[in-house]
Amino acid sequence: MADLAERPLHHLPAHEVVLLLESDPDKGLTSEEAGRRLERFGPNVLPKFRRHGPLVRFLLQFHHPLIYVLLAAAAITAVLGEWVDAGVIFGVVLVNAMVGFIQESRAEKALDALVSMMKTEATVRRDGRRTKIPSAQIVPGDVVLLESGDKVPADLRLVAVRELRIDESALTGESVPVEKADLVLAPETVVADRRNMAFSGTLVAYGQGRGVAVGTGAATELGRIHQLIGETTEIATPLTKKLAYFSKVLTAAILGLAAVTFLLGLWRGQNPAEIFMAAVALAVGAIPEGLPAAVTITLAIGVSRMAQRHAVIRKLPAVETLGSTTVICSDKTGTLTKNEMTVQAILAGDRTFDIEGAGYEPAGEIREVGRQSSTVNREEVARQAVTVGSHVPLDTALCELLTAGALCNDAQLVEQEGRWTIVGDPTEGALLVAAKKAGIDPGQAGERFPRIDAIPFESERQYMATLHRGDSGREAVIYLKGAVEKTLRLCDRMLTAEGSEGALDAPSVLGQTDAYAGRGLRVLAFARKSAPADRATLSDRDVEEGLTFLGLQAMMDPPRPEAIAAVRACRTAGIAVKMITGDHALTARAVAAQVGLDGRKRPENGELVAMTGQELAATPPEALADAADNTAVFARVSPEQKLRLVEALQARAHVVAMTGDGVNDAPALKQADIGVAMGLGGTEVAKEAADMVLTDDNFASIEAAVEEGRCVFDNLTKFIVWTLPTNMGEGLVLLTAIAAGSVLPILPVQILWINMTTAVALGLMLAFEPKEPGIMRRPPRDPGQPILTGVLVERIVLVALLMLAGAYGVFLWEQQRALSIEAARTAAVNVFVMVELFYLFNCRSLDHSMFHVGVFSNPWIWRGVAAMVGLQLLLTYVPVMNRLFHTVPIDGTAWLLIVTISVLVYLIVGFEKRLRRWWLQAPPERPTVAQP
Ligand code: ATP
């Protein structure tokens, strides 16, 4: 294969490029050749790029104001000759940096795993066949097929295009899609103007195309840019940013306070070394240094839990927003329903038929409605099918209708070990099954009337059409299928049951459509038109008028049972669910009723009101918010209207999650607070625009993600409520001692010990807390509400005061027992740790006791508790630790006191929660029960 690096490929005709690449524009590469090239060129992925290597990332751990303070303190302590203290402080800083580094790497890994879950696929021609392969396996020379919604998987020289328009904003910043063409361009043409090329990472906005891969992986334009700017995995959300800011301000304030304390002490003539140590202790104790790391870890754990439940987060802030979601706007097909279609009823000519059978197995009778014993004779239909499209008058429309369904179709029906499945769109798969039930073989029909060209289905167009060569040189025939209203507009006559063409009876067709849709069936209309035998292409203009209506096929798509449960769960969680679908209003309404949606109802019969796209368009802007807020079902909605709906709901201060799969859903997905794309059925464009991608396209996964989102927020709050009292308590103890001019009850190195060990062994375990029972029985969190409500602030202050009283009290009491000052300090340190340990159990639920969430529901808590107890015993009884941390062994009496205080704190907080629950539940004025 020639070296392409220096060749201006856009300047060569397409066939020369193909030649250079030793490929075949029609057949593509062979699998063996592709395998060889994969070895030679490597996978089609961008090289992993980290802005910082591990060493720099480790060093960055020291880049915090508090660490500077600690390092300065260590240096000054060393100058003062306190080598052990200096060493301990330095050691703690080092350990802290290591823990931070590991945690950060873990969080990043969890997020990286998401990236690898989001592997994209591409359609290529290999061995003469159209196949889907992971984009990573594309090699130079591969013939890649593009269609609207795809992400271009490699740099391609286009060999054929059909109204192909590509959004290259990711590469060039140009937001208007570029119209592509198979041209030969001047050598100096810049990348943005190379209209005969498609570039990796750009998105197909419209049309179709075929191109040969000329560059993969790092050898693409995207790869070049990627190397220039690198890639950042930022672990930040509005909340983490807010907390980081809070931490910064707090740090500055506490450093100020420490400085003032130091100066005040000097002014009062205290020993400079001692008062310096006191100021350092204050700074170390009062700054919640574990907070940012805990937040990151909690978010990362939430993200991987969501991924396990089929919701892959693409943008981290979504984790937070999910917990506040108030409205979920969902597609119908495949999300609320199973997307397993079965044709159940047919209108052909003026006759209606029922079809038996479920699933994709082509077994079941077709029975004419109203006639007792009139099943369709398969042999008869098969015989007639031979004449399809040949303009020999057919004596039945049914056969032509089913053949139209089989030919105007991109799906395939496959049997594997007796199991029938379909490849492609289930709507189309159902049509193949229906045809086969009547004895029409889609494969044979396709061979007899080969497809020459097609207009693919798109939601906006609402139809698909195909052009087929006629039998033995006869006229060609166009088949069209689509939404009923749309199709009828294109027809001016209809095929009668006997096969002659008669006047179109639109009202009766629409009546039958309503009858089917009212049963929740999805209705498709079919039509045909003949075309000159030499017609080679098909465009929208060819089917604008003059079609002959063939009939209707109505299919059942059962609701997903888990979606029904999820809708119910959303309802108790105060989240409104709305269905926004391209389907018929009556079908939508029937399905909505089946899955249990709740919204505006008709007063006369209590049925859900379904608003159509047309009605939406006619609704004045000022009335839209009201309509959007109160209506549960929106049918025949265009993607632009989805955007309007999101905006209208947001105007009502709703936090909106919106699903989408098509190219044109992208603006709505971006506008929504949480854009949700379908991982299986969605286009790459939609995924790119979304905040979250569902790997199973299931509504229940959105509800699961909301649940996890709420849990993340809960766990973050729990950590904050757990950690702040310690900082405050330590600060208060030190300030009290300084004010009283007494010796410090806890030393800086001891404070360092408390803060570092408890944060990792105890606090972090809260990130693993499972969801609280009833998490989906409370209303969504108001995003404007601060993390710490008044109640929580009060609790933090209460526990801080209890810590102050406990630690200071024990410190004084131990001294009174005429024990050493070291023993008194050791006891005080143990009070802090043990109170934190027992208070951790309180923090497992913000409103209830630990028994409400299950004593053993979070095994990590118990592991952490065991580790912490072990660490405290080491600190208290191991001689080395005694030397390093100025501790001494303490006696049983001291322990008894420490544990009693800790249990008391646990009970007091438990009582406080109970009191508040009682207060909240108590009606404002208790009704007095009349005594007889
Ligand atoms: P949702 O938006 O909930 O997924 P949907 O799948 O019904 O709903 P669209 O895909 O936009 O929405 O389909 C709109 C209409 O177009 C359908 O009601 C049907 O009449 C018609 N239609 C759907 N799929 C095809 C197809 N493959 N070929 C022709 N017409 C189709």
- State whether the beta carbon of 482 lies less than 6 angstroms from ligand 1: yes
Q: Quickly state the pLDDT bin for 51 (edges 50, 70, 90).
A: low
Counting from 1 in the atom list of ligand 1, the atom nearest the Cα of 330 is 3
- State whether the beta carbon of 641 lies less than 6 angstroms from ligand 1: no
- State whether the beta carbon of 457 lies less than 6 angstroms from ligand 1: yes
- State whether the beta carbon of 20 lies less than 6 angstroms from ligand 1: no
- State whether the beta carbon of 554 lies less than 6 angstroms from ligand 1: no
Six-digit token pair at 651? Answer: 């105007």
- State whether the beta carbon of 332 lies less than 6 angstroms from ligand 1: yes
CA atoms within 13 A on the CB side of 322: 33
Q: Quickly state the pLDDT bin for 304 (edges 50, 70, 90).
A: confident
Six-digit token pair at 61? Answer: 């751990």
| Protein residue whose Cα sits closest to atom 5 of ligand 1 | 582
- Calculate mean pLDDT across residues 61-76: 80
* pLDDT-above-70 percentage for the chain: 92
- State whether the beta carbon of 442 lies less than 6 angstroms from ligand 1: no
Report the CATH architecture of 311-337+561-697: 3-Layer(aba) Sandwich (3.40)
CA pair distance 346, 52, nearest whole angstrom: 64
For 129-150, give one letter per residue: b (16+ CB within 10 A) or e.
eeeebebbbbbbbbbbbbbbbb
For residue 312, the CA-to-ligand 1 centroid distance in Å is 26
For residue 739, the CA-to-ligand 1 centroid distance in Å is 75
User: Does residue 631 have a pLDDT over 50?
Assistant: yes
For residue 337, the CA-to-ligand 1 centroid distance in Å is 13
- State whether the beta carbon of 168 lies less than 6 angstroms from ligand 1: no
**Topology (CATH level 3) of domain 238-308+711-920:** Calcium-transporting ATPase, transmembrane domain (1.20.1110)
Closest residue by Cα to residue 198 from 188, 187, 211, 189? 211
| Residue ranges covered by each domain of the chain | 9-48+114-231, 54-107, 238-308+711-920, 311-337+561-697, 342-556
For residue 421, the CA-to-ligand 1 centroid distance in Å is 20
Q: Left if phi > 0, otherwise alpha if psi is -120 to 50, otherwise beta: which for 391?
A: left
- State whether the beta carbon of 581 lies less than 6 angstroms from ligand 1: yes
Active-site pick, 85, 167, 331, 714: 331
CA pair distance 751, 726, nearest whole angstrom: 10
Higher pLDDT among residues 230 and 894, named by residue:
894
453 carries an active-site annotation: no
pLDDT in tens, 554-583: 999 999 999 999 999 999 999 999 999 999
- State whether the beta carbon of 105 lies less than 6 angstroms from ligand 1: no
Q: Which of 457, 595, 637 for mutating ligand 1's site (highest number of atoms within 8 Å of CB)?
A: 457
Query: 3-class DSSP state for residue 651?
Result: helix
Closest residue by Cα to residue 213 from 44, 48, 45, 46? 44
| Protein residue whose Cα sits closest to atom 13 of ligand 1 | 582
CATH 3.40.1110.10 fits 342-556, yes or no: yes
- Calculate mean pLDDT across residues 136-151: 90
Counting from 1 in the atom list of ligand 1, the atom nearest the Cα of 661 is 4
Counting from 1 in the atom list of ligand 1, the atom nearest the Cα of 459 is 11
| Protein residue whose Cα sits closest to atom 12 of ligand 1 | 582
CATH 2.70.150.10 fits 9-48+114-231, yes or no: yes
Q: Quickly state the pLDDT bin for 640 (edges 50, 70, 90).
A: confident
- State whether the beta carbon of 459 lies less than 6 angstroms from ligand 1: yes
Query: 3-class DSSP state for residue 926?
Result: coil
Counting from 1 in the atom list of ligand 1, the atom nearest the Cα of 408 is 28
For residue 524, the CA-to-ligand 1 centroid distance in Å is 9
CA pair distance 47, 217, nearest whole angstrom: 7
Q: Distance of CA 587 to CAs 161, 461, 518, 591, Å?
A: 37, 19, 6, 6
| Protein residue whose Cα sits closest to atom 10 of ligand 1 | 459
CB atoms within 10 A of CB 596: 16
Q: Quickly state the pLDDT bin for 193 (edges 50, 70, 90).
A: confident
Counting from 1 in the atom list of ligand 1, the atom nearest the Cα of 483 is 20
User: Does residue 299 have a pLDDT over 90?
Assistant: no
For residue 560, the CA-to-ligand 1 centroid distance in Å is 18
Q: Which of 147, 332, 427 for mutating ligand 1's site (highest number of atoms within 8 Å of CB)?
A: 427
Residues with Cβ within 8 Å of 899's Cβ and at least 6 positions away in sequence, in order, are 834
Most confident by average pLDDT, 187-191, 238-242, 401-405 = 401-405
Higher pLDDT among residues 313 and 904, named by residue:
904
pLDDT in tens, 233-280: 455 667 777 777 777 788 888 888 888 888 988 888 888 888 888 888
pLDDT in tens, 649-662: 999 999 999 999 88
Q: Quickly state the pLDDT bin for 925 (edges 50, 70, 90).
A: very low
